[in-house]
Amino acid sequence: MIQVGFILSIVATVIATFPTTLVYQSPTGLFLENIAVRPCSKLLLTSALSPALHMLDPSSANTTFDEVYSFPNASALFGIIEYQPDVYAVVTANAQSILQTHRVNPGSIAIWRVDFRLKTPIVTPIAGIPQSTLINGLSSVPGHPDLVLAADSGLGAVYEITMSTGAVRIAIQDAAMAPGAPAPALGINGLHIHGSALYFTNSQQGTFARIPIAVQSKGVSKAGAVLVLSTVEPPGLPHRYDDFTFDADGRAWVTAHPGALTLLYPLTNGTWAQENAAGDPEGSYAVFMEPTSATFGRGVNKKILYVTTEGGQVVSVDASGK
Ligand SMILES: *[C@@H]1O[C@H](CO)[C@@H](O)[C@H](O)[C@H]1NC(C)=O
Ligand SMILES: *[C@@H]1O[C@H](CO)[C@@H](O)[C@H](O)[C@H]1NC(C)=O
Ligand SMILES: *[C@@H]1O[C@H](CO)[C@@H](O)[C@H](O)[C@H]1NC(C)=O
């Protein structure tokens, strides 16, 4: 009886709600960490196991994974975000034991600007964050094109980086962003501003949460208490939320380890619901092998989500159906 119930639940959950297509599979299974979509629709991809930023054209019949730039003194790239048109912030670090420790080598984190507005990208170091043990996701700050927010998964905090000056300060630190036990776990992972709030995932705590923020001349600050909107399903490791993106309707598409994409959306009474959008929340790699980040395409692809995975996949999800 138990076995039959188990099989039925697996069958029920592997049926993808939204159609998926494998856009690219790294032949070496290179761990893909984060993604940005350029105005020209090409994808920029980071890897936690490579110092190189790669570019991929998802609409090409024979998609190639092209190195754009290899960062010096780094073994890993983490978050990437477009903070001005075709200008990106990228997190780099030396992190040879990242898979075992979830931490980078002490003092090795840097934030770089990658400017694609000219034919040859201009790459500039902006700031170090030597006190951090892991900077994970990045967010732009709408209306403030000089600011970038960075999630510190070890400290449980959000840094604000002024990209023109390299000034770095802790903007928000909160227990809801902290990793908790057992160390060294990942606390706050993805973060994105939507409306007048900062939304974030906490991998160890299994939560998707929101904190109201204010952006004034002194920068970003908290303007209220954290509200947890959703908890990963099924609960407990290895199930954990990773990075996410918002759609035009204010719904969040959240990558969920080991193998799913979860759609989170507000109900009319203000609480949030979740449903499986693609893949298998129970854990098989039917569609995604440890999904890490998601973002929407541009132009004709604006309802296509691109999802990266630790297994070296770029998977597109056709989100136009609902
Ligand atoms: C794609 O690449 C394969 C292998 O190199 C080749 O056989 C095929 O013709 C290519 N297809 C297109 C559309 O270029
Ligand atoms: C490389 O990074 C280390 C910290 O990981 C730092 O001590 C060293 O100065 C850096 N070297 C260069 C050339 O930037
Ligand atoms: C909000 O609405 C949902 C769906 O109708 C319901 O399940 C939930 O209990 C409601 N929550 C509150 C706090 O009213």
Tens digit of each residue's pLDDT (9 = 90 or more) over 183-234 = 789 999 999 999 999 999 999 999 999 999 999 988 999 999 999 999 999 9
Residue 7: the pLDDT is 36
Q: Is the CB of 62 under 6 A from ligand 1?
A: yes
> Can you read off the two tokens belonging to residue 63?
């998609």
pTM more than 0.85: yes
Residue 150: the pLDDT is 98
Residue 322: the pLDDT is 65
Residue 11: the pLDDT is 41
Residue 63: the pLDDT is 93
Q: Under a CB-based contact definition with an 8 Å cutoff, are residues 298 and 36 in contact?
A: no
Ligand 2 atom at minimum distance from 93 CA: 5
CA distance 244 to 311: 18
Residue 182: the pLDDT is 80
Residues of the chain with pLDDT under 50: 1-16
Q: Is the CB of 271 under 6 A from ligand 3?
A: yes
Q: Pocket of ligand 2, candidates 104, 108, 109, 111: which has the most ligand atoms within 8 Å of its Cβ, to mutate?
A: 108
> Can you read off the two tokens belonging to residue 119?
């034919």
> Can you read off the two tokens belonging to residue 291?
């999904």
Q: Which residues contact 299 (CB under 8 A, 6 or more apart)?
A: 41
Residue 125: the pLDDT is 98
Ligand 1 atom at minimum distance from 61 CA: 13
Q: Give the helix/strand (H/E) hosting 150.
A: strand 147-152
For the chain, the straight-line distance linking the first and the last C-alpha, in angstroms and rounded, comes to: 36
Task: Name which residue sits closest to atom 6 of ligand 2, judged by CA.
Answer: 108
